[in-house]
Amino acid sequence: LEKQCNELMMMKFGRLVDLEALQTLSGNRALEELRQEKLLLEAEYAKELNQWDVEEARDALMEVTKCHTERVLSKTNLFNQKREMELKLKARQKKMGRQFQDNRRCVDQEDIRRLKILVKTQSQKAVALRREISLLSCKGGHILPPIQATLPPTLLVFWCGKPCDT
């Protein structure tokens, strides 16, 4: 019987099969299926854990990106405010400069007007003094009373260029 069984195994499987091992395997078939299912579930759980890690990393990245975007927008806003303030300051400085120049121009014009009047009065006094010198230097000339406004001695110069003795 055993010989006949071995021949049938050779014919059917092409080799001899250990029936005892086959029986232990077939008895633990449910156990093998559970092991296989366990391996599949572990692989699925590992994949799901990886997905959770990826989602957590994505959420963290989104949060950091949002924070950085807010900072960039804030910095841009501050830069625009700075530029506006610089433009306003520049405009005020120009306005102040123009006011200063206008004020300075008025002061300069007043000084010029005052100096022109001074030159005119001095030239009139010089003409009067030349006439007086001319009259006094002539023999027998009439002596006029002195002019009320007298100039300092350095300005009293003879026609010939010699200082006057007073």
Residue 144 located in a structural domain: no
Residue 9 located in a structural domain: yes
Band the pLDDT of 150: cuts 50, 70, 90: low
Per-chain mean pLDDT for the chain: 81
Residue 14 located in a structural domain: yes
How many angstroms separate the CA atoms of 41 and 84, rounded? Answer: 64
Q: How many domains does the chain have?
A: 1
Residue 163 located in a structural domain: no
pTM exceeds cut of 0.75: no
Q: Higher pLDDT residue, 78 or 22?
A: 78
Q: What is the mean pLDDT of residues 111-136?
A: 92
Residue 123 located in a structural domain: no
Q: Higher pLDDT residue, 9 or 162?
A: 9
Q: How many CA atoms lie within 13 A of 99 on its CB side?
A: 6
Residue 73 located in a structural domain: no
Residue 117 located in a structural domain: no
Domain extent, residue 2, equals: 1-52
Q: Is 139 helix (H, G, I), strand (E, B) or coil?
A: coil
Give the position of tokens 């006029």.
Answer: 144
Residue 25 located in a structural domain: yes
Query: Max CA-CA distance within the chain?
Result: 189
